[in-house]
Amino acid sequence: MGVKKPMNQLQTRYEYGGDEFVFVQLSEEMSLEANFKGMAITRELKQRELPGIVDICPANASYMVRVDPDVLHPEELIKELKDIEQKMADLDHITIASRLVDVPVLFEDPWTHEAVMRFRDRHQDPESTDLEYSARVNGYDSKEAFIEAITSAPFLVSMIGFVPGLPWCFQMVAREKQIEVPKYVRPRTFTPERTFGFGGAFAVIYPVQGAGGYQMYGIAPAPIYQKEQTLPDFRDSMVFPQQGDIFRYRSITREEYDQIRSEVENGTFVYRKKDFSFTPQEVLEDPDAFSEMVLRRLYHD
Amino acid sequence: MIKVIKPGLQTTVQDQGRIGLYEIGMPPSGAMDKFSYTVGNLLVGNQRNAAALEITYLGPVLQFGRKLRISITGGNIPPKINGQPVAMWETLEVQEGDTLSFDFVQSGARTYLAVEGGIDVPVVMNSRSTYTLIGIGGFQGRALAEGDELAVGDMHEKKVPVGTRIDPSLIPVFQKTHEIRVVVGLCSYRLTEESKAVFLESEWTVTPEANRIGYRHKGERLKFVERQQPFGAGSNPSNVTDLGYPIGSIQVPDGVEPIVLLHDAVTGGGYATIATVISADLNRMAQIKTNEKVKFVSVTLEEAIGARRNLRDQLMKIADAI
């Protein structure tokens, strides 16, 4: 498939973030292997339960660790991290505990469309919608074909952050099929809550209303962040997504959108999901086969 | 009970912060000037993590429902009880019905009001700190408003005599120009050598965009090393593949106006970070006002850890004396 690349070709950079943070960049570019490697290292670090570690923040192609330097000197931490990295040099023995999740999205909905039109003056192409523009720059004939590309293969939740619950999602397809879009020329001051957006190589859902710079394609009926924690999926945490989850964005009709909205409002909505374990090799060796298997498991098994 | 007669510009409930939740995108929040906040708690005999009020620029007017020990520390926003000036950095006592108000800010930007027992609001993810962006923690997830009534908690561990003061040499002095120590690193490889030098040699002016989320600074434009942008990073030379942002980290979107991210900042994003303010100087950062001048001074990791130890020793000295 041409996507597999030995781990040792990734260039790791260890840096201090003041006296409390160590920042580790595994790769300058985004890739599934860099993300899997970061996931493997941070999960192992968590298991080692070193005294002095305050926070572990896995990211897309990097990760960050916060320490109490009086307990664990950042230099010592880096030694430990290098040790873990070496032990994880090949991802052969790594299994990632994950969840498959069906995430419904109403594309070209009235709410994000209103926002799209309101901020045309901040966009690369004021004459097109975000969806039309993105389809064109990625070489698709129509916005329908572009939506098909987004919804036909699942995404790996590669990082959570920016604001609580926002999932960065990277599509599990070969590099040549990956979608990449620029962000707005100047960020918007408004993005509707639950907007489904795309920026760089990442799809996201905005947990709350706010500023934003990603292209806007649609809206999710179900929340990914709920501070009241009344829905069953939020009982343990205000935040639904977890790094390592596999999301399938599914295009829905306005009718289904309204149906899910009413389930959310009366407190009965539950995401369709399955617990699932996989190895990075399965994905890297044949993303298409992996993707088919994932969709089968999620909807039929 | 404490009644809010006037809320002030932005008065929030804060403690040590909501630590350890970067993984879900939750910033730590918490008191911006932890030194002043901690001394405040010591002066009223509270446990270290008791919640206090963080007062910004313009103080509130508060009325106390019962006799209570309090202390006021941090930036000099001169406090008055029933219209009479009272001392900062000292254990005070208020009586039922007393009113606390403040004069215009003299120096610094943030003042802490600690009350015996701490401010009692619901604990959300191990912290009482307010995080207004999503409306959690603190008093109903927001800054105080007129008519709010705050309950007093029981995080009290020691009776401190009224009139207790700290050694004046340990009280920080807040000027209008600031040297803020940073450790250069993270993605500083993205800046040109020339721009790295400009960053450290410039005197930066703090813009009106200076709050709990971050401080933005005006000055010369910085340049990034030219490259073909890596896959996933975005098209601007200041973009990197989205990564985590340490508290105190400095980013320069499009090379314009360095932003120091603070306690309520976004936890990650796609801008190259070039340096991090050392933990000891985050306290000083909190006391900087719009239009004041900042110079970033590069220090080594060992110097940063040394500064942190000094601060801790000072706090121990203060705790011992009280």
Distance CA A10, CA B153 (A): 52
CB contact under 8 A, A17 and B267: no
Give the model's confidence band at A94: pLDDT under 50 very low, under 70 low, under 90 confident, else very high. Answer: confident
CB contact under 8 A, B277 and A18: yes
Strands (E) located in A123-255: 155-160, 167-171, 188-191, 195-199, 202-205, 210-212, 215-219, 246-251
pLDDT of residue A185: 83
Which tens digits make up the pLDDT trace of A210-264? 888 899 999 999 999 999 999 999 999 999 999 999 999 999 999 999 999 999 9
Same domain, residue pair B131 and B53: yes
Same domain, residue pair B144 and B182: no
Same domain, residue pair B50 and B165: yes
A124-141 average pLDDT score:
95
Edge-first strand listing for the sheet containing B2-6 = B84-85, B79-81, B99-102, B61-64, B2-6, B149-152, B119-120
Asked whether residue B318 is assigned to any structural domain, the reply reads no
Asked whether residue B317 is assigned to any structural domain, the reply reads no
CB contact under 8 A, A159 and B26: no
Of B136, B170, B204, the residue at which a domain comes to its end is B170
B301 vs A contacts (CB less than 8 Å): 16, 19, 74-75
Distance CA B250, CA B259 (A): 5
A141-167 average pLDDT score:
97
Give the model's confidence band at A7: pLDDT under 50 very low, under 70 low, under 90 confident, else very high. Answer: very low
Same domain, residue pair B206 and B98: no
Asked whether residue B49 is assigned to any structural domain, the reply reads yes
% chain B with pLDDT above 70: 100
Same domain, residue pair B138 and B240: no
% chain A with pLDDT above 90: 88
By the 8 A CB rule, do B286 and B110 touch? yes
Shortest distance, CA A237 to any CA of chain B (angstroms):
9
CB contact under 8 A, B25 and A73: no
In three-state form (DSSP H/G/I as H, E/B as E, the rest C), the secondary structure along B135-155 is CECCECCECCCCCCEEEECCC
- DSSP-derived secondary structure for A68-98: -TTTS-HHHHHHHHHHHHHHTSSGGG--EEE
Which tens digits make up the pLDDT trace of B190-242? 999 999 999 999 999 999 999 999 999 999 999 999 999 999 998 889 999 99
Same domain, residue pair B86 and B104: yes
Asked whether residue B229 is assigned to any structural domain, the reply reads yes
Same domain, residue pair B9 and B59: yes
Same domain, residue pair B95 and B35: yes
Of B125, B155, B170, the residue at which a domain comes to its end is B170
Q: What is the mean pLDDT of chain A?
A: 93
Phi and psi angles of residue A236, each rounded to the nearest 5 degrees, phi first: -90, -20
Give the model's confidence band at A10: pLDDT under 50 very low, under 70 low, under 90 confident, else very high. Answer: low
B308 vs A contacts (CB less than 8 Å): 19, 69-70
CB contact under 8 A, A162 and B21: no
CB contact under 8 A, A64 and B246: yes
Closest CA to B175 of B31, B33, B288, B32: B288
Same domain, residue pair B216 and B293: yes
Beta pairing partners, B149: B3
Distance CA B243, CA B209 (A): 23
Beta pairing partners, B110: B56
B312 vs A contacts (CB less than 8 Å): 70
Distance CA A236, CA B125 (A): 11
- Note the residue count of chain A: 301
Interface test with A, best of B24, B249, B251 (most A CBs within 10 A): B24
pLDDT of residue A187: 82
Tell me which chain B residue has its CA closest to the CA of residue A226.
B134
Tell me which chain A residue has its CA closest to the CA of residue B187.
A15
pLDDT of residue A1: 36
Q: What is the mean pLDDT of chain B?
A: 97
State the CATH number of the domain containing residue B194: 2.40.100.10
Which tens digits make up the pLDDT trace of A54-93? 999 999 999 999 999 999 999 999 999 999 999 887 787 8
pLDDT of residue A186: 82
Q: For residue A56, give the 3-state DSSP assignment.
A: strand
Q: Which domain does B112 fall in, by range? A: 2-170
CB contact under 8 A, A162 and B25: yes
- DSSP-derived secondary structure for A12-50: -EEEEETTTEEEEES-SS--HHHHHHHHHHHHHHHHHT-
B240 vs A contacts (CB less than 8 Å): 28
Asked whether residue B107 is assigned to any structural domain, the reply reads yes
pLDDT of residue A2: 38
The total of structural domains in chain B comes to 2
A64 vs B contacts (CB less than 8 Å): 22, 243-244, 246
Same domain, residue pair B161 and B131: yes
Closest CA to B15 of B43, B37, B45: B37
Distance CA B312, CA B35 (A): 9
Q: Give Cβ neighbours of residue A263 (< 8 Å, ≥ 6 apart).
A: A269
Same domain, residue pair B187 and B63: no
B89: left (phi over 0), alpha (psi -120 to 50) or beta: left
A19-47 average pLDDT score:
96
Give the model's confidence band at B188: pLDDT under 50 very low, under 70 low, under 90 confident, else very high. Answer: very high
- Please say if the pLDDT value at position A268 is more than 60: yes
CB contact under 8 A, B233 and A162: no
Distance CA A255, CA A246 (A): 25
Same domain, residue pair B152 and B190: no
- Please say if the pLDDT value at position A110 is more than 70: yes
pLDDT of residue A4: 42
Structural domains in chain A, CATH included, are 7-91 (3.30.1360.40), 97-299 (2.40.100.10)
Tell me which chain B residue has its CA closest to the CA of residue A14.
B186
Calculate the CA B108 to chain-centre distance: 11
Asked whether residue B147 is assigned to any structural domain, the reply reads yes
Q: Which of B19, B239, B244 minimises the CB distance to A64?
A: B244
- Please say if the pLDDT value at position B307 is more than 90: yes
Which tens digits make up the pLDDT trace of B111-158? 999 999 999 999 999 999 999 999 999 999 999 999 999 999 999 999
CB contact under 8 A, B267 and A180: no
Rounded to the nearest 5 degrees, what angle is found at the Cα of B49, between the Cα atoms of B45 and B51?
Answer: 85
- Please say if the pLDDT value at position B169 is more than 80: yes
Identify residue A210 by its one-letter amino acid code. G
pLDDT of residue A211: 86
- Please say if the pLDDT value at position A3 is more than 60: no
Q: What is the pTM of this model?
A: 0.95
User: Which residue do the tokens 């801008």 mark?
Assistant: B271
Q: A29-33, B47-51, B217-221, B231-235: which range is least confident on average?
A: B231-235
CB contact under 8 A, B304 and A183: no
Q: A1-15, B39-53, B164-178, B272-286: which range is least confident on average?
A: A1-15
Interface test with B, best of A12, A19, A123 (most B CBs within 10 A): A19
Which tens digits make up the pLDDT trace of A155-172? 999 999 999 999 999 999
Distance CA B204, CA B216 (A): 9
Q: What is the ipTM of this complex?
A: 0.96
Asked whether residue B119 is assigned to any structural domain, the reply reads yes
By the 8 A CB rule, do A46 and A56 touch? yes
